């Protein structure tokens, strides 16, 4: 395995400035992205956390998912008042979801180890499973390669209510069939049997999609000590009860501060990271069937579509007596995270970094001394298989060029250069010669009448159009002639730049596990100390 850093400019202007530690973006945070770990550590030490109940709940959760002993040992270390966590998270996608979820796990593990050596205190890696999220359509599929075409492969289970993912029971028959058909589109390798059996064991032992996700993460990272946390777990809500009351008391200030920060970002020319209004409460209410977003209407807390109505005292009573009925949105989730965990650093993707930038004053609204953690870009990888690596060499294509440019350019350039002379150049020369030969006709037409001149112009356009049509047919014939090579280009594109974007946003880990085995990603954690977290993207070569 070989790992090379690659520079890719972020599509998000704000994130690009933040990565470069430019003052304008940096001002939205309490700490610079690198170099202020010791200052953040001192900040965390000033605060008090519910460590004992948190440790108890974490042990219950992780043991229920069959956590390895390394994970339990990490949880025990949280009893130490000197200990801190590195945390990040994602939804519980099928087979762990897109590759970026795995990349977050790797980032959390490697950054935690790096900082423990540097700071000399226990640094515990925590992955926050967003079990309270309710968009089942975001997690119910993966993409598969069906004869050179990427297609969405969706599980047959239907979920119509906006129910938290943690509460959705697996339809094991539907998911089992979905797993079986997923493997039908993969070549059989020496690892296929073990990967298939491991996935099915995790499925058999799971009751919910969160269970399935957690068990598979432990199967992929068995000795790395990652601690998993389900944000929607009922026992978590019990220790969050008084934290919800803090959020309720600070609701108006939270809502106004995030709204004003978003408006400031827009005035500075940055994209809007989240849609907010001044009457947002940034809390959900769960009525037993669906998760209802609450808005503020004067002294009332109402459902976005008037499903429920509460007074502030009623909401507080729910927080005290039935906290499992409340949950956070994108604004209050980070605040709740920081109330629960002694966080050294949060590891996030570009979109997460952008919306965290709106929260600095929200933290102050809860407590004037409350600060944000270090915000670190997660590691981003492109995985190059042996086969694709060889195809790149055959076509003399540089991986960094592929990631930084539209892939169609590479295929078109090769196609046009595969004929002598190149088709596009040949037709361009012919069109230029015809235009030159046609010029006397147009001049004579002009001298006779304007309408005849206009007709001569249309005549030239018609000739050029006919040539363009013939060029297209010629290119099509060349494509048919070079069908095998073009399929290779398609394979490179599907693997490295699917749908024109990064591999990690489309591909699931399954094809790589099938080809290289269950230890594929855990091995990255062994190699990762040689990787700088300041280099955002890396290309990983398996050969």
| HSE-up (13 A, CA, CB side) for residue 533 | 27
Find, among 132, 128, 134, 106, the residue nearest to 58 by Cα.
128
Per-residue pLDDT tens, the chain, 543 aa: give them.
788 888 887 778 999 899 888 889 999 999 998 889 999 999 999 999 999 999 999 999 999 999 999 999 999 999 999 999 999 999 999 999 999 999 999 999 999 999 999 999 999 999 999 998 889 999 999 999 988 889 999 999 998 888 889 999 999 999 999 999 999 999 999 999 999 999 999 999 999 999 999 999 999 999 999 999 999 998 999 999 999 999 999 999 999 999 999 999 999 999 999 999 999 999 999 998 899 999 999 889 999 888 999 999 999 999 999 999 999 999 999 999 999 999 999 999 999 999 999 999 999 999 999 999 999 999 999 999 999 989 888 888 888 788 877 777 777 776 666 655 677 777 888 888 898 989 999 899 999 999 999 999 999 999 999 999 998 888 777 766 667 777 888 888 899 999 989 999 999 999 999 999 999 999 888 765 556 666 678 889 886
User: β-strands 343-348, 326-328: how paired?
Assistant: unpaired
Say what the alpha-carbon torsion angle 423, 425, 429, 432 is, to the nearest 10 degrees. 110
Contact 488, 418 (CB under 8 A): no
Q: In the 3-class helix/strand/coil scheme, how is 269-334 assigned residue by residue?
A: CCCCCCCCCCCEEEEEEECCCCEEEEEEECCEEEECCCCCEEEHHHHHHHHHHCHHHEEECCCHHH
d(C-alpha 56, C-alpha 76), whole Å: 9
Q: What is the pLDDT of residue 264?
A: 96
The DSSP letter of residue 235 is: H
Find, among 278, 407, 306, 201, the residue nearest to 294 by Cα.
306
Q: What is the pLDDT of residue 180?
A: 97
| HSE-up (13 A, CA, CB side) for residue 12 | 19
Q: What is the pLDDT of residue 494?
A: 92
* Sequence-separated (6 or more) residues with CB below 8 Å from residue 103: 378, 379, 380, 381, 504
CB atoms within 10 A of CB 210: 28
* Sequence-separated (6 or more) residues with CB below 8 Å from residue 328: 132, 231, 247, 282, 283, 284, 335, 336
Residue 386 main-chain phi, psi, to 5 deg: -55, -45
Counting Cβ atoms within 10 Å, is residue 41 exposed (0-12), middle (13-18) or buried (19+)?
buried
The DSSP letter of residue 226 is: P
Q: Which residues pair with 540 in a beta bridge?
A: 3, 383
pTM of the model: 0.86
Residue 402 preceded by cis peptide, ω within 30: no
* Sequence-separated (6 or more) residues with CB below 8 Å from residue 3: 527, 530, 531, 538, 539, 540, 541
Find, among 217, 220, 229, 212, the residue nearest to 194 by Cα.
220
Say what the alpha-carbon torsion angle 444, 446, 447, 450 is, to the nearest 10 degrees. 140
d(C-alpha 373, C-alpha 31), whole Å: 7
Q: Which residues pair with 230 in a beta bridge?
A: 129
Residue 405: helix, strand or coil by DSSP?
coil
d(C-alpha 521, C-alpha 104), whole Å: 11
DSSP 91-156: ---GGGSSHHHHHHHHHHHHHHHHHHHHH-S-EEEEEEE-TT---GGGTSEEEEEETTEEEEEE-S
- Measured in residues, the chain has a length of 543
């Amino acid at each position: 395995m070989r790992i090379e850093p690659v520079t890719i400019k972020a599509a998000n202007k704000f994130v690009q400035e933040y990565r470069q530690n430019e003052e304008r973006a940096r001002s939205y945070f309490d700490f610079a992205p690198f170099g202020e770990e010791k200052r953040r550590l001192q900040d965390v030490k000033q605060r008090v956390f519910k460590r004992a109940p948190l440790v108890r709940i974490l042990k219950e959760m992780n043991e229920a998912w069959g956590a390895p002993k390394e994970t339990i040992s990490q949880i025990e270390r949280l009893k130490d008042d000197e200990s801190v966590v590195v945390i990040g998270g994602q939804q519980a996608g099928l087979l762990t979801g897109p590759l970026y979820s795995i990349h977050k796990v790797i980032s959390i593990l490697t950054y935690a180890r790096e900082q423990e050596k540097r700071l000399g205190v226990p640094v515990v890696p925590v992955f926050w499973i967003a079990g309270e999220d309710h968009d089942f359509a975001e997690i119910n599929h993966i993409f598969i390669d069906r004869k050179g075409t990427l297609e969405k492969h969706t599980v047959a289970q239907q979920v119509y209510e906006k129910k938290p993912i943690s509460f959705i029971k697996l339809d094991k028959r539907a998911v089992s069939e979905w797993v079986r058909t997923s493997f039908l589109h993969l070549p059989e390798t020496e690892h296929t049997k073990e990967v298939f059996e491991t996935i099915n064991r995790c499925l058999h032992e799971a009751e919910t999609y969160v269970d399935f996700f957690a068990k598979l993460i432990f199967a992929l990272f068995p000795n790395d000590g990652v601690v998993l946390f389900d944000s929607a777990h009922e026992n978590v809500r019990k220790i969050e009860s008084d934290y919800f009351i803090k959020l309720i008391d600070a609701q108006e200030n939270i809502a106004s501060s995030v709204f004003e920060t978003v408006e400031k970002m827009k005035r500075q020319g940055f994209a809007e990271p989240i849609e907010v209004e001044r009457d947002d409460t940034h809390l959900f209410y769960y009525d037993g069937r669906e998760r209802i977003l609450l808005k503020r209407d004067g002294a009332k807390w109402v459902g976005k579509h008037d499903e429920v109505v509460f007074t502030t005292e009623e909401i507080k009573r729910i927080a005290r007596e039935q906290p499992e009925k409340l949950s956070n949105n994108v604004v209050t989730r980070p605040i709740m995270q920081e109330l629960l965990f002694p966080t050294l650093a949060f590891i996030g993707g570009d979109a997460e970094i952008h919306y965290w930038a709106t929260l600095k004053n929200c933290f102050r609204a809860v407590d004037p001394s409350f600060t944000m953690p270090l915000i670190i870009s997660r590691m981003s990888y492109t995985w190059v298989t042996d086969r694709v690596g060889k195809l790149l060499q055959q076509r003399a294509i540089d991986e960094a060029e592929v990631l930084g440019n539209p892939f169609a350019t590479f295929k078109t350039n090769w196609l046009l250069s595969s004929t002598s002379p190149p088709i596009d150049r040949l037709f361009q020369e012919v069109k230029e010669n015809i235009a030159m030969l046609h010029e006397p006709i147009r001049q004579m037409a002009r001298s006779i009448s304007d309408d005849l001149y206009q007709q001569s112009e249309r005549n030239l356009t018609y000739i050029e159009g006919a040539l363009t049509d013939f060029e297209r047919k010629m290119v099509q014939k060349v494509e048919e002639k070079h069908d095998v090579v073009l399929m290779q280009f398609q394979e490179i594109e599907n693997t490295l730049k699917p749908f024109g974007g990064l591999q990690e946003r489309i591909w699931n880990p399954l094809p790589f596990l099938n080809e290289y085995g269950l230890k594929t990603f855990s091995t990255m954690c062994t190699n990762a100390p040689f990787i700088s977290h300041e280099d955002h993207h890396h290309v990983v070569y398996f050969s």
